[in-house]
Amino acid sequence: MPQNSSLEIARRVDRWWESAGRNVLTDPFGAMAQAGLFQIGLPGAGAALDSYRAIAAAEQAIAAKTGLLGLASAFAARQMTARFFIAGFADGDQRAAWLPRIAAGEACTAIAISEPGAGAHPKLLKTTAKSRGAGFVLSGGKAWVTNGPVADLFLVLAVTAIEDGRKRYGLFLVPKGTAGLSVEPMAALDTLAPASHCELELDGCEVPATAQIGKMDDAYPAMALPFRDVEDTVGTANVSGLLSWLLEKTAAQIERTEDNALRLGRVAGLVSLVHAASRLAVEALDGKGQEAPARIIGVRLLARDIVGEIRELLAQGRRQDEAIEGALAAFDLLASVAREPRKVRQIRLGNSIGSERQ
């Protein structure tokens, strides 16, 4: 990312932090809007900020400044959803109706794919979108909708047809307040505050034909599946930022001995590798360099080892720090999310090694 882009993102994050300060969890998104953070990653903010790398850089900076994985991930989820689905697949009218509001912080979008008891597996999803007149009627339920409680617009994945036993999907814009749509609260995950989730109930929810995003036959392989990779890739920046925060906090907690300095230097070196691998992985999303699944796997595994070493260092500390304990708990929780898909990716990578010689 160009140097001027990095400086502009840093300025906006600093402006947000100066405004939010100690009340960062009281109204984090209002202060972010005032600082122009919701323009990052979207068309209209200038070519330098119109990228996944810009979103990742802001997410990393937020995590590094606050140690709040939930806050950084909530910000990134808003921007990734808007960039990938609306900027990437919506038509001109849909983009004109929503992107300016999103960039101004006046509207928040949330993607609704997973369902209760089904996760995001395409064979198990049941929410339907049936054609009626000049539109569609959506029926079903969604779960674990990130930013759902504060969302103004839901992007709902629903079955539009079943052909030869295979489900076909469409993605639909469903504004909050649409008749038949209800937002149901979910138990709060305090360690990820202020990130929030909800369930959706769609009971004969009518939307016009113009609410459908994209004209492809099946939105699952075209949009839902690749978005998983985008989330996982950009999410490495969150981990990268947290490691920087943890390193600084740990240094302040432990006795300054030569042995501890040696260990801190080792951790700092490993953290720098996480920064570099995350940056390269995200830049590939913007078409700069080749995608390398091993990078994402490596970042996650190396981060786990680094956190383990940080925990060992903190064990000798002079006092407990609630902020550090909260950050470590959030890291553990996010590391457990999507564990099975990550395992599948790692197995696929392992099977690919040496396969050309067989």
Is residue 104 within 8 A of residue 95, CB to CB? The reply is: no
Distances in Å between the Cα of 217 and the Cα atoms of 171, 208, 212, 230, 242 are 11, 18, 12, 22, 40
Please give the average per-residue pLDDT across 119-123, as a whole number: 90
195 is written with which tokens?
Answer: 């990130």
pLDDT of residue 290: 82
Smallest Cα–Cα separation from 243: which of 277, 267, 279? 267
* Tokens, residue 193: 């505050």
Residue 2 pLDDT exceeds 70: no
Token pair recorded at residue 222:
């075209």
- Residue 223 identity: M
Tens digits of residue pLDDT in 187-215: 877 888 888 999 999 999 999 999 999 98
Sequence-ordered list of residues with C-beta below 8 angstroms from that of 317, at least 6 positions apart, any chain: 250, 253, 254
Instruction: Please provide the DSSP assignment of 300-331 as one string.
Output: HHHHHHHHHHHHHHHTT-SS--HHHHHHHHHH
Position of tokens 């160009």? 2
Which pLDDT value is given to residue 356? Answer: 59
CA–CA separation, 106 and 178 (whole Å): 18
CA distance 20 to 253: 26
Q: What does the DSSP assignment read for 163-182?
A: ETTEEEEEEEEEETT-TTEE
Specify the fold of 109-217: Butyryl-CoA Dehydrogenase, subunit A; domain 2 (2.40.110)
Q: Which two tokens stand for residue 4?
A: 């001027």
Q: Round to whole Å and give the CA distance between 206 and 208.
A: 7
Q: What is the pLDDT of residues 247-302, one digit of tens each?
A: 999 999 999 899 999 999 999 999 999 999 999 999 999 999 888 889 999 999 99
Neighbours of 175 (CB within 10 A): 15
Q: Which of 36, 173, 3 is nearest to 103 (CA)?
A: 36
Pinpoint the residues of the chain covered by CATH 1.20.140: 221-352
Beta bridge partners of 139: 128
Q: Please provide the DSSP assignment of 38-87 as one string.
A: GGTTSTTS-GGG-SHHHHHHHHHHHHHHH--HHHHHHHHHHHHHIIIIII
Q: So what's the pLDDT on residue 187?
A: 80
Strands 153-163 and 166-175: antiparallel
Instruction: Please answer whether residues 294 and 349 qualify as being in contact, where contact means their C-beta atoms are separated by less than 8 angstroms.
Output: yes
For the domain spanning 221-352, the CATH number is 1.20.140
Pick the closest to residue 342 from 294, 281, 283 (CA basis). Answer: 294
CATH classification (class only), 3-103: mainly alpha
Residue 335: per-residue pLDDT: 86
Across 144-167, average pLDDT: 95
Comparing CA positions, the residue from 52, 97, 54, 49 lying closest to residue 213 is 97
Which residue type, as a one-letter code, is found at position 96?
A: A
CATH 1.10.540, the chain: domain bounds = 3-103
For the chain, residues classed under CATH 2.40.110.10 are 109-217
C-alpha 8: how far from its chain's center? Answer: 21
Q: What is the pLDDT of residues 46-102, one digit of tens each?
A: 878 999 999 999 999 999 999 999 999 999 999 999 999 999 999 999 999 999 999
* Mean pLDDT, residues 5-29 taken together: 87
pTM across the whole model: 0.93
pLDDT at 358 over 70: no
Nearest to 338 by CA among 125, 53, 121, 186: 121
Residue 357 reports pLDDT greater than 60: no
Distance CA 347, CA 199 (A): 32
